[in-house]
Amino acid sequence: MAEAGPDLGVRIIAVDRPGYGLSDFQANRRILDWPKDIGELADSLRLERFSVLGVSGGGPYAAVCAAKMPERVAVAGMVCSVGPLDGPGATRGMVGFNRRLLFLARTVPALARLLAGPVVRVLWRYEKDVLPLRVEAHLPETDRRTLARPELRRTLLANWQEAFRAGTRGMVWDGCLYAWPWGFELEEIRVPVQLWHGDLDVNVPPAMGRALAGRIRNCRSRFYADEGHFSLPFGRIGEILAALVG
């Protein structure tokens, strides 16, 4: 993304959510708290208007900014985005581990946090690859080809390590927030939303993307028959950024 931005005249500001990277963990935070953080950051940078982009678990955070900051958000982008779990068949097609963990987060959150922590710590310390081979085996071929690129694996591994420099509590808490009510309605969103999703995605199944597209009124959605969770954002980032500034 950093390489694609300058060619399009895009200034990219990547923000650590609480508990990731250099950002302190914030107990009991909600998705609904995020627009205040973004508003304060934008004020300090003297930015009146901007676009927001969320990939995968970042999608709900882009959506809440669109819902609660319509006077400042020009357009919101959601790529392979997690969707609410209250719709029928929301997790249909999702890999078993993700589906079970989200179910536990919704019903027994303390147990979900207990189980998720060790798993994330294993991934955090994984030195040779981005994901254990058992996890990659469940991905579609297009994702496995994308993850086979050495330069991409190095970048992703460095990203994981930086994200978890202060521990895993931020990500584990996020997992619970995705499963609980988000605190706002997608139907509130009035600013333009651009949505991309792959039909081969097993991390965040396309049913979630279609539910988002159906509930967000001013949404332009694109679904790709041959894309997965990793191949889509890495292969189409230029297209995504161009749509957000166009």
The CATH number given to whatever domain includes residue 58 is 3.40.50.1820
pLDDT of residue 171: 83
> Residue 233 belongs to what domain range?
4-245
Non-local (6+) Cβ contacts of 215 within 8 A are: 186, 187
Q: What does DSSP say about strands 193-198 and 50-55: parallel, antiparallel, or unpaired?
A: unpaired
Side-chain-side CA neighbours of residue 237 (13 Å): 17
Asked whether the beta carbons of 65 and 189 are under 8 A apart, the reply is no
Report pLDDT for 46. 97
Number of domains in the chain: 1
Which residue do the tokens 């719709």 mark? Answer: 87
Question: For position 105, what pLDDT does the model report?
Answer: 76
Q: Fill in the amino acid letter for 156.
A: L
Amino acid identity at 202: V
Per-residue model confidence as pLDDT tens for the chain (246 residues)? 888 888 888 899 999 999 999 999 999 999 999 999 999 999 999 999 999 999 999 999 999 999 999 999 999 999 999 999 887 778 888 887 777 777 777 777 777 777 766 766 666 565 555 666 667 788 999 999 998 898 888 888 888 888 888 887 888 888 889 988 999 999 999 999 999 999 999 999 999 999 999 999 999 999 999 999 999 999 999 999 999 987
* pLDDT confidence of residue 123: 61
Q: According to the model, what pLDDT value does residue 138 have?
A: 85
- pTM for the structure as a whole: 0.91
The set of residues, in sequence order, having a beta carbon less than 8 Å from that of 150 and lying 6+ positions away, is none
